[in-house]
Amino acid sequence: MIKSRLTVFDNLPLEVIRTFILPHLNYEERIHLNRCLPVQDRFSRKMSPCSITKHDQKVAISIVRIHLEACDQFSGSKKYKKMISMFKALQTPRCFRLIAENPGFREMTVSKMNEMVDELTRIEIPMELNQRLKLASEIKKLRKKIEANGPYGPRVTYDDVPLLSFQ
């Protein structure tokens, strides 16, 4: 039998935690606090699906931003490796939702893919053949996925959706 270690929260009454601590925590902090509590004392409030989607969109945006910044930091061979990983990331369901729900982002992605294809066809750009093939392959996969999942509806906004919370 596995015994859990006692935490500081075991000495506090549950009402103190609910009244004075929980209202001041964000989503991630609440999850961590909940995991520190004994199973019978954990909070089981459901979250709104729109808030979950908004949170997921924020995470996807940060993932894409990290990949874009990594592409800008490097040049040459490393830059193209980062681009390959960025196009792979854009094909994941979480990041592809950005393409599906935001026409502006979708159009920008398609135009950047067209620019990359033009760049790949120029011989004077120093790039290994293997990298050219991998990058072309990832661009082709993403383009096929964009075409296969259309037609797309209007832009989906989450501006009026409250942040992720248990209340």
> Do residues 77 and 71 make contact, with C-beta atoms less than 8 angstroms apart?
no
pLDDT at 2: 52
pLDDT at 114: 92
pLDDT at 88: 95
pLDDT at 18: 80
pLDDT at 1: 46
Which ranges of the chain have pLDDT less than 50? 1
Phi and psi based region of residue 76 (left: phi greater than 0; alpha: psi -120 to 50; beta: remaining): left
pLDDT at 164: 65
Q: What is the pTM of this model?
A: 0.68
Q: What is the dihedral of CA 65, 71, 73, 74, to 10 degrees?
A: 160
Contacts of 109 by beta carbon, 8 Å cutoff, 6+ apart: 90, 99, 142, 146
pLDDT at 61: 92
pLDDT at 4: 64
